[in-house]
Amino acid sequence: MRATDNQGSFLNRISIRRNQVVSMDNSHEQELEDLDLFQKHVADRFNDLLLPPQTPPSAAAPDSPSSASPSSSLSSPPSLLSIAWFRNLLDAYLCCEAEFKAVLVMGRDPAQFAKPPLDRLIPDLLDRSVKALDICNAVTSGLELVHNWKKQAQIAVTALSQKPIGEGHVRRAKKALNTLLASMAYDDKENNNNHHGKSTDRNWSFGRRGNGGAVVKTGGAKWSVAKSWSAAKQIQAMMANLVAPRGGEPTGLALPVYIMSIVLVFVTWALVAGVPCQERTGLATHFPVQKQLVWAGPVIGLVEKIGEEWKKKEKKGCCGLLEEVQRMERVSLSLVEFAESFKFPMGDEAVDEVAVMVAEMAEVCRKMEEGLVPLQLQVREVFHRIVRSRAEVLDVLDQVGKVNTPVAY
């Protein structure tokens, strides 16, 4: 994957360069070069997410076996807001985060973190990371809900794949689809607390402790959040104080902190829009991004595209913008309509229509079966990466505190 290759060469280059003894001027020039390269990589990754490369028509002949197999989808670009697209999004985040940490921390003099504006920007970034952990947990819970929807859809597929289709098959499919649609229709506040009509408390790994501090879950201890917790408000809070740095900042590191903050907020915002999460009413659709920055174009383009989709769906009561969920809901409604007018025996035309709908639902279930668990694992990886990176930055801040502490004689 090109993004991963770029990341590896970038990190190796920084590691080698910072182990060398260089003059201050040369070091400053190289830091500027590293920053430019970091921005370019961010722009490339988000460009790929906005405009994925098209597969050449000659890559696979229409009649070839590979073009008809399920694995052929791996070579075609994923559509926006599909499970595969979200997996690419999280890959891009992990690559950006690794390069950002190299720019910010690797071989850095801790004293720089005590200078303006980093003395303000770093705590803000750490606070956003805590809020992002809650979002990761909410998204994980939402993906579990989507798993349950897939199970109901699979019941309907199995029932309606029988030949011939009888009244018993239709009743079984209709019951499963009505359960599925009823769950999708729940208010966002209830979606993740009522998987099967039973109220459950959401478990969280971080709680609040003054100044945006966090307490990590240890052993069997768990943190719960009130039902009033809102994913939309969490994203809004993450956007607070998110302002592009002015030119000529003293440390020169304000820009990468701003870039990584935008990347973190965008990724969590997209996940909240795509996956069922608690309370998403009023989810923001505008980001404070300066258009003249080299990486801003693709980010703004993605925000606009996803924001347009969100505005369309929000008015109807939204179960998330995940492409597979949207298709599942649409086909479920059509199949319920068929079930309500079902008469045995079915005519050939009705048989063909149902077969098309069942095939589409089976394809959606297949994509969910293949992609949901890997996506959940990636969300978990993002969670743990944020925890580790936050701890590393806190270690640097701790060093700054020790340096600035006067020695008692």
- For residue 74, what pLDDT is reported? 45
> Token digits for 100?
């950002």
Residue 61: which pLDDT band, with cuts at 50, 70 and 90? very low
pLDDT at 192 over 80: no
Q: pLDDT digits over 284-343, tens only?
A: 888 888 888 889 999 999 999 999 999 887 766 578 999 999 999 999 999 999 999 999
- Rg of the Cα trace of the chain? 25
Highest mean pLDDT among 6-15, 74-83, 287-296: 287-296
Determine what percent of the chain is predicted with pLDDT higher than 90.
54
> Token digits for 239?
């956007």
Higher pLDDT, 378 or 344: 378
Average pLDDT, whole number, for the chain?
A: 80
Q: How far apart are the C-alpha atoms of 141 and 191, rounded to whole Å?
A: 10
- For residue 265, what pLDDT is reported? 97
- Transcribe 182-222 into DSSP letters: HHHTS-HHHHTT-TTS---PPEES---BTTTB-----TT--
**pTM for this one?**
0.82
Q: How far apart are the C-alpha atoms of 76 and 394, rounded to whole Å?
A: 42
Please count the other Cβ atoms lying within 10 Å of the Cβ belonging to residue 126. Answer: 19
Average pLDDT over residues 118-133: 94
pLDDT at 54 over 90: no
